[in-house]
Copies of this chain bind each other. A is one copy, B any other.
Amino acid sequence: MEIRELIEKIVKEMEEKGGLKNVVWVAAGGSNDGHYAAQYFMDRESTAVRSQMITSSEFEFAAPKCIGENTIAVITSMRGTKETIEAAKVAKELGAVTISQYVDESGLTEVCDYNVQYGSIWEDDEDQGRTNAGNALRIAMAIVDVTEGYKNYADAMDAFEKIQPAYVRAREYCRPLAKKWADQVKDEKTITVIASGPAYGSGHIFSTCNILEMLQIQSPTFNSCDFFHGPFEITDKNGAFFLLVADGRTRKADERAITFLKKYAGEKVYILDAKELGLDNLKDSVSEYFNHLLFTPILNNVYMKALSEATGIDYTTRRYMWKVEY
């Protein structure tokens, strides 16, 4: 069943129980961050449906009281992370309609009422509009359109068509730039990532999943809207900064951070602009909400891989994950 059709069916069936009142996005690690685009969209555009994004264990241990028969729970895990399966069980026990997003079938797909398969963001993926983040955004947009009407829905569906070709072009465009950046920062102990608004989730994935988890290099993330209220105090000429510049309403904050860093930081400030990546090809009415869908695969497939090559750290190795008891 197509996502739009699935949401229509669930919303219709929920009517007799009082209607859809809230949606919760539950996952662990990178899958949790992958819900950011959907949460950001719901936060900005939904007036009828409340939206919460919670990491799996926190949901398992302390689920919100509002979760019940008026809830859609979207629960994402590539291959069935243990904590996420537990969270899905809690959502189901509380009466929510559960939708899994999955790559391989697992205990998660057994628990959930509906299962939506996605393609991972890795390079050979066929459609960046059909990743976990892409499908979550489709779910969010369908929820708003079905429950209260989303005037830019057609523009958004058109944008999903344009993401994959934009990604393919951006991938080639960024390769030499990423190589140069990686050579410059390969010996850094810390790389600070800054992003805002609709691109913040991509920034957090890049730092926490790509740089920290995959390459074991320390990498804090800051919101450029909040950069001048504390985090900018660590700026100095030696620091390595990676700035995502969003295409959208919070771009002004990103540009303010650039101006400051050009003045007070040193040579190791790297700027990756959504406009450079081709987000401009999407309609202005919706392009903001697609920052995540272009930034995340480019950062993972081009920048992380370039840094892996420059540092000689194999990005498939882990110190602890899957290897020790925890």
Residues of A within 8 A of B (CB): 28-30, 32, 43-47, 50, 52, 54-58, 61-62, 64-66, 81, 83, 189-190, 196-197, 208-209, 212-213, 216, 218-221, 223, 225-226, 228-235, 248-250, 252-253, 256, 260, 264, 288, 318-321, 324, 326
The residues of B that contact A223 with a CB separation of less than 8 Å are: 55, 58
Is B197 in contact with A229, judged by CB distance below 8 angstroms? no
Is A216 in contact with B190, judged by CB distance below 8 angstroms? no
The residues of B that contact A61 with a CB separation of less than 8 Å are: 197, 225, 249-250, 252-253
The residues of B that contact A197 with a CB separation of less than 8 Å are: 58, 61-62
Q: A306: shortest Cβ distance to chain B, in Å?
A: 19
Number of copies: 2
* Chain A interface, DSSP helix/strand/loop, else mixed: mixed
Residue of B nearest to A82 (CB): B228
Is B326 in contact with A232, judged by CB distance below 8 angstroms? yes
Is A318 in contact with B233, judged by CB distance below 8 angstroms? yes
Identify 7 residue pairs between A and B in the complex whose beta-carbon atoms are under 8 Å apart, listed by A's number.
A43-B64, A45-B64, A55-B229, A212-B231, A213-B233, A260-B320, A264-B324
**Extra pairs beyond A29-B226, A213-B230, A233-B318 (13, CB < 8 Å):** A45-B65, A50-B50, A55-B225, A58-B250, A61-B250, A62-B248, A212-B231, A212-B234, A219-B220, A228-B321, A232-B326, A233-B320, A233-B321
Is A234 in contact with B260, judged by CB distance below 8 angstroms? no
Is A256 in contact with B58, judged by CB distance below 8 angstroms? no
The 8 Å CB contact of A233, one of B196, B212, B248, is B212
Residue of B nearest to A54 (CB): B43
Q: A90: shortest Cβ distance to chain B, in Å?
A: 12
Q: In the assembly, what is the distance between CA of A132 and CA of B162, in Å?
A: 46
Residue of B nearest to A50 (CB): B50
Residue of B nearest to A44 (CB): B64
Q: A95: shortest Cβ distance to chain B, in Å?
A: 13
The residues of B that contact A326 with a CB separation of less than 8 Å are: 228, 232, 256, 260
Q: A211: shortest Cβ distance to chain B, in Å?
A: 10
Residue of B nearest to A216 (CB): B233
Residue of B nearest to A257 (CB): B326
Residue of B nearest to A60 (CB): B225
